Amino acid sequence: MKKIGPPVDRVDGPLKVTGGARYAAEVPVARVAHAVLVLSTIARGRITGMDTGKAERAPGVLAVITHKNAMHLPPQPTRETRASQGDHVLQLLQDDHVLYNRQPIAIVVADTFERAQHAAHLVAVRYEAAPVDVDLLRTRTAARAPHPPYHGTVAQTLPVESRRGDVAAALAAAAVRVEEVYTIPAETHNPMEPHATIAVWHGPTHLTVYDSTQGVFEDQRKLAASLGLPRENVRVISHYIGGGFGTKGAVWSHVPLAAMAAQKVGRPVKLVLSRPQMFGPVGARPQIEQRVVIGAGRDGVLAAIRHEGRSSVSQFDQFCEHFTAPTRALYKCPNLDTTERVVSLDIATPCQMRAPGEVTGTFALESALDELAVKLAIDPLELRLRNYAETDPETGRPWSSKSLRQCYQTAAEKFGWSRKKPQPRSMVDGKLLVGWGMATATYPANVRPASAIATLFADGTALVRAGTQDIGTGTYTVMTQVAADALGLPVEKVRFELGDTDMPETPTSGGSCTAASVGSAVHQACLGAREKLARLGNGGGADPSVDEPFAAQLARHGMKRIEARYDAKQLETRDRYAMRAFGAQFVEVRVDPELGEVRVSRAVGAFAAGRILNAKTARSQLLGGMIWGISMALHENTVYDPKLGRIMNNDLSEYLVPVNLDIPAIDVLFVPEDDPYVNEIGVKGVGEIGITGMAAAVANAVYHATGRRIRDLPITLDKLL
Ligand code: MOS
């Protein structure tokens, strides 16, 4: 596998830096009209009147669509009838109800964007507003079990409870006990490219949509179902995506609304959400409260863990944050109880955000373990090694591969962990307090069915196609490498195309599954094409001569091309092995004791994730994850007005994300890992694991620096003073 691994530059890099890569809103479409959404200013109630006259008479306006004149749609799924994890309950102007702040309540279409935006401001709305309940930590609404399971497509849905052993008895008998509550606020996805859609009708029954989406097929299915069209009448194209992180994992209301608007005005319609509109109608990480109870012996060996908590959901839809998933898998512990509950609030429906469940649960568990280490005066890394899970503690299955020990060692060495002085406030740099913290990182190795077609041409080049997405992760590049490797061609001779429902079906790019799933299909399709050719060469004989260049073989047979398709399924080994990627993350902070200001001054992460397809793009994913983890620890917080239910910091000046000065030198280290069971190409995804341990590692470092344990993210100045 020579083409696999090296830090090949992005094959689409030149197009991206020269503006040649066309993102959804940039696709040239003749006669395109521009749409702007009008969003509700209340968070719960009813629309009692809408004055659209001024907007309709404004220059260039083609239509103002509200619940009064919107296309009447077939019955839509409800919380109880939704078909999949991505099958969100949408707000498509079918009634006068307002269920959350910034719900779409009208769409204005004009001949230019500026005119549409102007007219959108002229729509006057009267409401009957009802009291709201938007704060998980203050609500009196009882937590409840999530609605009956639905079948996952974006991320696998998991059981919301698990029991092993006898936790109550083990806790009662334990020599030491930690019991704490950890909270995480709503965080809002802000990919550089906001959601964007262009809808083009071809007659009344056929629709093409250019969309910024993590899943063209899920998009196609949901658009067809919501508009009442056969699935094959809808084509979704998504060639370049400026980040998704979960918010683009499934269709939100604006996508069918763009199609409805295009039908109304009889022209293609482009709809781009503004930055403020990213806060509200397109998902967010839920608000989460978790309680972790740990019982252990004086030697630090875990006797029992209880991990329970609740996350916020909307009043009308379903989402459950699986924050106990990492706790079920991380440590050897004979007694374990986990429970996930949800609380309905007057908010928009939350959804997956980078490493859903894994990062939120890891924050709680890895903070609590640090508290246990402090209590026992055992080094936090040593504590983790004493509880190392040699097999999957939940199922007892062997790991398909696990190199966490090597990750701990590699990262600790690079970081210089052995030089840590254990006492809080014992390390200083001038007047600044220095703190060191660490945490374990993990993410499941997801693989989902995917298909690909490989075509070899007589000129010695190859074209490989799969419908999948490149959400900024490098799919174009790594698939080109996988194909080049399987075909024995230089990377320059291979072209990989994606992002189109006319191509072979692939999963939504969520759950870090794309490299492993689509990569397996691409690899096998390419091998299939070579085999087909070889069989030709021998008149169907059994001794394929793979050494002859395929261009020559095709020429010899007077053929212009040869093609093979492969439909990759999950390997049967998935039932015999537990499959996860692991890592270790170490963080150094400097805290100003007078101001409470926290700066991360160093971070090291070591990861083992099977075969690394491209050292450069993989590093970029892990680095991005670690940066976001710092952001989660120190910055991000979606603030709701408790009375009005409005999100108050809906832009990037008030919703804080790190800038370059907030991010120190970060070391990303790979621990080599060979996994023969996980899939055909031995790959575990790296899109999400990088964020998972970081928030806990930062919080643990802050404790070490200051002696203050902050269990409520983000760790802001006020909490340290
Ligand atoms: Mo990722 S949050 O599974 O799109």
CB-ligand 1 contact for 350 (6 Å cutoff): no
CB-ligand 1 contact for 246 (6 Å cutoff): yes
Max CA separation in the chain (angstroms): 82
Among the listed residues 160, 161, 441, 168, the one whose alpha carbon sits nearest the alpha carbon of residue 303: 168
CB-ligand 1 contact for 249 (6 Å cutoff): yes
**Whole-prediction pTM:** 0.97
Q: Is residue 148 part of a domain?
A: no
CB-ligand 1 contact for 605 (6 Å cutoff): no
Which CATH number covers residue 496? 3.30.365.10
Three-state secondary-structure class, residue 670? strand
549 shares its domain with 428:
no
Q: How far is the CA of 88 from the centre of ligand 1 (A)?
A: 15
Token reading at 89? 């309950």
* Mean pLDDT estimate for the chain: 95
Residue 155 confidence (pLDDT): 45
Mean pLDDT of 37-46: 98
CB-ligand 1 contact for 645 (6 Å cutoff): no
Q: Is residue 153 part of a domain?
A: no
For residue 551, what are the CA distances in angstroms to 134, 158, 487? Answer: 64, 48, 12
User: In this structure, are residues 37 and 82 in contact, taking their beta carbons and an 8 Å threshold?
Assistant: no
Q: 480-489, 534-543, 711-720 — which is least confidently predicted?
A: 534-543
Residue 551 confidence (pLDDT): 87
- Nearest atom in ligand 1 to 471's CA: 4
Q: How confident is the model at residue 478 (pLDDT cuts 50, 70, 90)?
A: very high
DSSP states along 32-51: -EEEEEEE-SSSSEEEEEEE
pLDDT greater than 70 at residue 538:
no
Q: How confident is the model at residue 153 (pLDDT cuts 50, 70, 90)?
A: very low
- Give burial (CB, 10 Å; 0-12/13-18/19+) of 319: buried
pLDDT greater than 70 at residue 199:
yes
Residue 570 confidence (pLDDT): 73
Mean pLDDT of 389-418: 98
Of 535, 569, 603, the residue at which a domain comes to its end is 569
3-state secondary structure 382-399: HHHHHCECCECCCCCCEE
Q: Is residue 76 part of a domain?
A: yes
Strands 462-465 and 494-497: parallel
The answer for residues whose C-beta is within 8 angstroms of residue 52's C-beta and 6 or more apart is 64, 66, 106, 123
489 shares its domain with 533:
yes
Mean pLDDT of 163-186: 98
Mean pLDDT of 458-486: 97
Determine the residue of 84, 245, 468 to mutate for testing ligand 1's pocket, defined as the one with the most ligand atoms within 8 A of the Cβ atom.
Answer: 245
CA dihedral 270, 271, 275, 280 (to 10 degrees): -170
Token reading at 234? 């809808």
Q: Is residue 582 part of a domain?
A: yes
- Nearest atom in ligand 1 to 247's CA: 4
388 shares its domain with 331:
yes
Token reading at 117? 């935006």
pLDDT greater than 50 at residue 545:
no
Q: Is residue 145 part of a domain?
A: no
- Stated as kind and residue range, the H or E segment containing 342 is strand 335-344
Range of the domain at 434: 161-187+284-446+576-720
pLDDT greater than 70 at residue 161:
yes
* C-alpha–C-alpha distance, residues 710 and 702, integer Å: 8
pLDDT greater than 90 at residue 237:
yes
648 shares its domain with 539:
no
Determine the residue of 354, 446, 468 to mutate for testing ligand 1's pocket, defined as the one with the most ligand atoms within 8 A of the Cβ atom.
Answer: 354
Three-state secondary-structure class, residue 527? helix
595 shares its domain with 462:
no
537 shares its domain with 495:
yes
> String of b and e for 385-417 (b: at least 16 CB within 10 Å)?
ebbebeebbbeeeebbbbbbbbbbbbbbeebeb
User: In this structure, are residues 514 and 657 in contact, taking their beta carbons and an 8 Å threshold?
Assistant: no
Percent of the chain at pLDDT above 90? Answer: 92
253 shares its domain with 303:
no
Residue 707 confidence (pLDDT): 98
Residue 547 confidence (pLDDT): 63
512 shares its domain with 534:
yes
pLDDT greater than 70 at residue 678:
yes
Three-state secondary-structure class, residue 677? coil
Mean pLDDT of 252-277: 98
- Nearest atom in ligand 1 to 512's CA: 3
CB-ligand 1 contact for 214 (6 Å cutoff): yes
Q: How far is the CA of 688 from the centre of ligand 1 (A)?
A: 8
* C-alpha–C-alpha distance, residues 241 and 247, integer Å: 12
* C-alpha–C-alpha distance, residues 112 and 199, integer Å: 16
Mean pLDDT of 52-81: 96
345 shares its domain with 424:
yes
Q: Is residue 149 part of a domain?
A: no
Residue 246 confidence (pLDDT): 97
548 given a catalytic annotation: no
Q: List the Cα angle 221/224/225 in 5-degree steps.
A: 85
pLDDT greater than 70 at residue 472:
yes
Residue 539 confidence (pLDDT): 54
- What are 620-658's pLDDT values in tens digits? 999 999 999 999 999 999 999 999 999 999 999 999 999
101 shares its domain with 207:
yes
Mean pLDDT of 430-444: 98
Q: How confident is the model at residue 152 (pLDDT cuts 50, 70, 90)?
A: very low
What φ, ψ does residue 429 adopt, rounded to 5°?
A: -135, 95
Mean pLDDT of 542-566: 81
Sheet holding 561-568: strands in order across? 494-497, 462-465, 450-457, 561-568
pLDDT greater than 60 at residue 544:
no
Which CATH number covers residue 214? 3.90.1170.50
525 shares its domain with 619:
no
* C-alpha–C-alpha distance, residues 540 and 557, integer Å: 13
CB-ligand 1 contact for 514 (6 Å cutoff): no
- What are 116-151's pLDDT values in tens digits? 999 999 999 999 999 999 999 999 999 999 886 654
Q: Is residue 137 part of a domain?
A: no
Mean pLDDT of 504-508: 97
* C-alpha–C-alpha distance, residues 99 and 345, integer Å: 10
Mean pLDDT of 402-426: 98
Q: How distant is the alpha carbon of residue 168 from its chain centre?
A: 35
Q: Pick the residue whose CA is nearest to atom 4 on ligand 1.
A: 246
Of 569, 591, 611, the residue at which a domain comes to its end is 569
DSSP states along 62-94: EEEE-TTTSPPPPPPP-TTT--BTT-PPP--SS
pLDDT greater than 60 at residue 200:
yes
Q: Is residue 24 part of a domain?
A: no
* C-alpha–C-alpha distance, residues 686 and 410, integer Å: 18
Residue 158 confidence (pLDDT): 84
Q: How many domains does the chain have?
A: 3
Mean pLDDT of 520-537: 93
* C-alpha–C-alpha distance, residues 692 and 361, integer Å: 9
What φ, ψ does residue 108 adopt, rounded to 5°?
A: -110, 130
CB-ligand 1 contact for 510 (6 Å cutoff): yes
For residue 138, what are the CA distances in angstroms to 4, 318, 517, 576? Answer: 51, 21, 42, 44
Q: How far is the CA of 356 from the centre of ligand 1 (A)?
A: 7
260 shares its domain with 298:
no
The answer for residues whose C-beta is within 8 angstroms of residue 493's C-beta and 6 or more apart is 460, 461, 462, 484
Q: How far is the CA of 513 from the centre of ligand 1 (A)?
A: 9
Of 569, 590, 615, the residue at which a domain comes to its end is 569
For residue 589, what are the CA distances in angstroms to 511, 675, 694, 703, 705? Answer: 30, 35, 12, 10, 7
* C-alpha–C-alpha distance, residues 415 and 435, integer Å: 13
Mean pLDDT of 363-375: 98
Catalytic residue among 371, 588, 680, 688: 688
